Amino acid sequence: MEMLKKFIFGMVLMAIAMAAFTQSAAYSKTVKAFQDSYLNEATGDLQAATQVLKEVYDEDGYEVNLRLGWLTYSAGQFTESYSYYNRAVELKPFAIEPRFGLIYPTAAMGNWDMVIWQYEKIIEIAPGNTIAIHRLGLVYYGQKDYPAAEKLFDKVVNLYPFDYDALLMLAWTKLQLKKFREAKVLFNKALMHTPGGQSALEGLELLE
């Protein structure tokens, strides 16, 4: 009986060792695929950069879905890119990284309602993320929803009172809302940050 126990124990250890070896080999293969993918992308060969990762693709692999989302977007394959990024979001629903990625193909396909929803979700997860706040403000500005854009740009300027892009976009938004005095102050602050800034100068000219 004791011999049987030792035999079973030995078989279990061997199975564990084999599983670890297989997992280690698969991991090394995946790392190599990522390395080759980066090298191919650097030379402009997006097809090869994508293919090497598809050969080690794992539906439940967050990193490979995220990477393939970027590569297929860069190749203009927006529907495929959306699928990869969306899978990454499903795998890590509280991460903002894949949501930023998902916005690229979504915007390219002209689905602005989904773009807005994703930015709002990012802000819900990370309320102080000024990149998302600023970009959502740009979307509303482009849609001429200036009151919504103003609220968002105000948030960014409150967090970064001397950021050129934030000051500039808030100034242009104030101008569109005919809040001319506030717009003038903001354009001048933008010029303090970047003397000779063309957009700020153009804004001041319109206010004269």
pLDDT tens digits along 68-127: 999 999 999 999 999 999 999 999 999 999 999 999 999 999 999 999 999 999 999 999
Distance CA 136, CA 120 (A): 8
Residue 35 token pair:
């390395």
**Amino acid identity of 53?**
L
Residue 50 token pair:
């994508």
Distance CA 80, CA 71 (A): 10
- Per-residue pLDDT, 190: 98
Distance CA 29, CA 32 (A): 5
Nearest in space to 73 (alpha carbons), one of 88, 55, 58: 88
Contact (Cβ atoms closer than 8 angstroms) between residue 72 and residue 80: yes
- Per-residue pLDDT, 28: 83
Q: Which residues of the chain are under the pLDDT cut of 50?
A: 4-22
- Per-residue pLDDT, 148: 98
- Per-residue pLDDT, 1: 53
Distance CA 181, CA 169 (A): 15
- Per-residue pLDDT, 73: 98
Contact (Cβ atoms closer than 8 angstroms) between residue 20 and residue 27: no
Contact (Cβ atoms closer than 8 angstroms) between residue 141 and residue 149: yes
